[in-house]
Structure 1
Amino acid sequence: MGVLNKLELIKDMVQDAIENGASTVEEVHRTIAEVPIDQLERSGLLDPEAADEKKAQHHRTVGAVYNAIRDVNRKAGEMASDWFAAAEDAKHVSDVMDENEKNK
């Protein structure tokens, strides 16, 4: 396996770790944020409908943030893959040019 293929594999592993990590942290974030809303509802300071709306509003906001993180991760991975492909193409062109020089 060549160096660029190894780098691509490592890139994929890092990208997967970021994706999974962001999803896990998002879920924890949502769960923790529900605690004070639930407490307000239980204490009677927030009616159930308002509590549900607050949770939904918070989940939308949190979801947008973590979706942005996942989007940046995906785009960075695509950019890195493009760089690796360009490097492979450049190496191939260089090898062909070197071979042509030898055959002159």
Structure 2
Amino acid sequence: MDDFGTGYSSFNYLKTFELDGVKIDRSFIQNIAQQPVNASITSAMIKMAQYLKLEVIAEGVETEDELAHLHDEGCYMIQGFYYSKPQPIEQFEQRYIVD
């Protein structure tokens, strides 16, 4: 479920649909090191998903502080500019695919 915690990503969907995982929306990840409310909500989302045996992906990770907090909470699947900005598939393959 994309953008978990916002818009149409209702908690009800967690019991209604067979999901493999949730992707936590960037709005909760942003400034988690400086905003205790964001840190608490993000931690609760991660724990809840883990209890439900769902994969957890954090969206929009841009800083080392954000990454460290997520790792401390057991979230290791990360998407965001911290690793790379969007790039053409050819460039991605050259950088990340090992023959």
Instruction: Using structure 2 for the length normalisation, give the TM-score.
Output: 0.23
The structure whose residues are more often strand, as a share, is 2
> Where is the helix percentage greater, Structure 1 or Structure 2?
1
Where relative contact order (Cα < 8 A, 6+ residues apart) is larger, the structure is: 1
